Amino acid sequence: MTAMLQQIIECGFAIAAESTEDYADDEESPHTLSMYMLYNYASEVPNNTIYPIFKTLILQSCNHPEPLFKKAGLKVLGHVCDSDGLLDCIKDDIEELTDLLVAGLVDQTQSVREGAAIVVGQFSENVVPEFLELHGKVMPCLFQMLQSYIDQATTSQDHALNAEKALFALAEFASQMEDSEIKPYVETGLKIIDSYLNGAGQKRSVRYQALNCLSAYILASQHLIHPYMTNLLQNLHQIIITATDKDSQQVKG
């Protein structure tokens, strides 16, 4: 039974690591169907049987020299991290799996960094509070990824969505922190948020998520935000008075 499961899950991971270029417009591509299959096994087979198989293959994929395998390993990890999947097991291994995400956020390949940012957002939603307690590992790398992605986020809807996920993750981390914990991240975080909020060419959805992130930062920082209030208010005022097109007016609202 276990040997058969191993072979099936290995096939699913192999398909998940294939290039999706030939199926870009297909809703039911082999890649998508493999993710459905893997999730079904993760949610239906007892954790003590299926998790060791998933963990081994996730580790192998994330340490593979080929970016497609790394991205697939990260994507599967994010795909099965909810309460119907392998959440409890992932919480038990949160230190080791967080190290995988951190490595992904600073990987030399952009697509791997993007994939890691998406999983950070998924972990921020599901693997709580364990994942958020590791902010010392994740926040510096998340900042690095967001900083390098400011211009890229303007080039396509997919890249904008990835930026939104990373900003969501940043907001989730901030919302769970005490002011003493967020103190080292206030200045850098506010600069990055402002770059997405007021940067030329940023899409409405990205700017809106940046506003949500800013709100979380303000609430978490409390008195630490006071030295930055004048600049923040000036920037927000600028958004209000210059909002002319439909998208800008929605952000203004």
Q: Tokens standing for 217? A: 């930062």
pLDDT confidence of residue 54? 98
Dist. CA 117–CA 120, nearest whole Å: 5
pLDDT band for 30, please (50, 70, 90 cuts): confident
% of the chain at pLDDT higher than 70: 93
Q: Say if residue 176's pLDDT is above 80.
A: yes
Quick one: which of 231, 117, 222, 203 has its CA closest to 167? 117
Span(s) in the chain for CATH 1.25.10.10: 94-253
Residue type, 17: A
pLDDT confidence of residue 253? 46
Burial 86-108 (b: 16+ CB within 10 A, else e): bbebbbebbeebbebbbbbbebe
Could you tell me the pTM of the whole model?
0.84
Please give the average per-residue pLDDT across 30-52, as a whole number: 95
Q: Say if residue 199's pLDDT is above 50.
A: yes
φ/ψ of 150, rounded to 5, equals -55, -50
pLDDT (tens digit per residue) in 90-111: 999 999 999 999 999 999 998 8
Number of continuous H segments (helices) and E segments (strands) in the chain: 14, 0
Q: Say if residue 183's pLDDT is above 80.
A: yes
Enter the DSSP assignment of 86: T
pLDDT confidence of residue 105? 92
pLDDT (tens digit per residue) in 114-155: 899 889 989 988 999 999 999 999 999 999 989 988 998 999
Give the residue with greater pLDDT, 175 vs 68: 68
CATH superfamily of 94-253: Leucine-rich Repeat Variant (1.25.10.10)
